[in-house]
Every structure is written in C-alpha cells, then in structure tokens.
Amino acid sequence: MQSLSTDSRSSTLVSLGESTFSVTGKEETADIAGWTLCVHSQGWVYFYNPFLRVVTDQDIRKPELLKIAQDLCSGYPIEELSEGMEVHISTGQNTASGSSCGLFNTAVNHVHCVASNNLDEIKNDNSCLLNPTRLNRCRRLYWNYLWNHPVHVPMPARALEDVSDALTWFYTDNLVSGSRSTVPFSKVECEELSRIVAELALPRNDKSIAKTIFLAWLMREICSFRDAEYWGQYTQKESQVMRKSRQKPTQSASQLHPLAMFLTNFIVNFLFFGIPHTYQAHVKA
C-alpha cells in the first residue's frame, strides 16, 4: 500500500514502504523504505531519499538498481552536503557485461541555485567565488536538473525575480536594438511570458509543480543565451565588436551577380522606364 507523504506538495509525491508494489509485473520488488516516489507532470517517475539527500532516475524498485544506488551513496561524501544540498546519482548499463553500473554524480545546491559534478565547487562558501561564466553554467545545470526533478523541492525564491529581470532586459533590448537584437524572445513573446510569470506569482500557484517546471525551463533558456553571448567575459566595446561581427551583412546591389544586375537594370530601365532610379535619386537628394 502507498501512502501520501504528510509534507507532499501534491498527489505526485508518494512515500514508499516495504509493501510497495512493483510496476514491472512479477519481478522481485526491492525493500525501498525511506525513499519517495515522485511523479513529474509529464508522467515519468524519479526517487528521492530525504534522509540521504539523494535523487535518482533509476527504478530502484528493482533490487539490482537499488543495490547500485546504495553502493554509489556509500561511496559519496554525503556528510559534506550542507543544508539545502543534495546529490543526483545516475546509473547506466555496462556494454561489455550487460550489467548496470554507476556513471556520475551531480551535486545540487538549492540555496544558491547551482549544480556541478564537482561538489567542492558549489558548496555554500565556494559558489559565491565562481567567475561569471562558470557561475552561469552551474546555474544552467541547476535549472536543467530542476526541470527534470521539480516535485520534491519548492521553487527557489529567487526564480521569479531572476526571470522577471531577464524578461525586462529582453524586452528593452528589442525596443532599443530592433532587428539587431540577439535576445532569445521577441517583444511580443516577452510580453506574453511576463504575463504568465505575473500569473504564477499569485498565491494560488505557490505549490504548483507545473510552475516550477515552467520557471526552470525559462531560466535554463536564459542561461543558455547568456552562455552563447559570452556573458560576463568582455567589456562593452569588445562585446559590441563581437555582436557586429556576428550580424549578417546585407547584400548591396554592387555585390549582385552580373547576370542578376543585367536583369534588374533591364526591368527597371525598359519595363518601368527608369522611374525607380529617378525616385531613388530624388530620395537621396
């Protein structure tokens, strides 16, 4: 029998006890007391152990996968995880033997919204020392993690503020730069996204898992854009030079193929009696 956790955000978070059933048919079911089954809004499940502060995507209801998860946990310095931190363990299949094995671990810091395969890098005392480029990449990894694992933790308080600030800048750049703007969302898209963010800020959405997923996706896109724009690396002058070099040059009439120029001049001079040339000269004058 499965019972809802007392601190559950919704029915998508379920505590698993000794008598949990297996969704894999008649296969042997592991004893996974202490683990919580979390159901993503899209329907898939992952597992969280609040005591160990461990998250895994593997189906630990299968004894062999639970054993691998336990071995990975025992070999990881969990005691170094401070408040608001956890580790995501991942397993895969050994192509040589066909058996499951551990792959990698990702440390996650919900306080500073950063994640890394290097635990020391994102500890509370160290995350503030990261350079802008590395900090942005650790944040992108964090938001990608939260996009896939949104059920067992509340949305970080800074998410709404960071999203709102980024959208305001994207909107501003659309107004100032016009067609030269490189931001990931158009003016209309910024308006629509800002409207949705304002809606999600209302109290009725405080416990919404879909809200967490939406904001995590948006922050991931923001961080990806910043990484592509070399965020925090160059001065204003250097940045402007780089932006100009990436813009596609407009093709002038002098760059047209000779045959194309001949056809263009024929149409203008003979079919339209040269009127377009006269009008252009008048405008330039």
175-178-183 Cα angle (round to 5)? 85
pLDDT bracket for residue 280 (50, 70, 90): low
pLDDT at residue number 136? 96
Q: What is the largest CA-CA distance in the chain?
A: 90
**Confidence (pLDDT) at 90:** 83
Between 221 and 127, residue with greater pLDDT: 221
For residue 241, the model assigns a pLDDT of 86
State which amino acid sits at residue 90: S
The more confidently predicted of residues 23 and 89 is 89
What confidence tier does 100 reach under pLDDT thresholds 50, 70, 90?
A: low
Residue identified by tokens 């990261």 is: 130
Residue type, 277: H
Quote the pLDDT of residue 19: 37
Mean pLDDT taken over the chain: 81
**Cβ-proximal residues to 228 (8 Å cutoff; 6+ apart), any chain:** none
CB 88 within 8 A of CB 105: yes
Where residue 285 falls among pLDDT bands split at 50, 70, 90? very low
Q: Which of the given ranges, 86-95, 182-191, 245-254, has the highest pLDDT on average?
A: 182-191
Residue type, 21: F
Which token pair is 276? 């377009």
Please tell me the distance from the alpha carbon of residue 262 to that of residue 210, in angstroms, as a whole number. 59
Would you state the pLDDT for residue 198? 97
Give 92-97 contacts, CB < 8 A, sequence gap 24+.
none
Q: What ranges do the domains of the chain cover?
A: 3-154+207-233
| Strand duo 85-93 + 54-56: pairing | parallel
Range scoring the smallest mean pLDDT among 28-37, 47-56, 146-155, 187-196: 28-37
**According to the model, what pLDDT value does residue 156 have?**
95
Task: Read off the amino acid at residue 143.
Answer: W
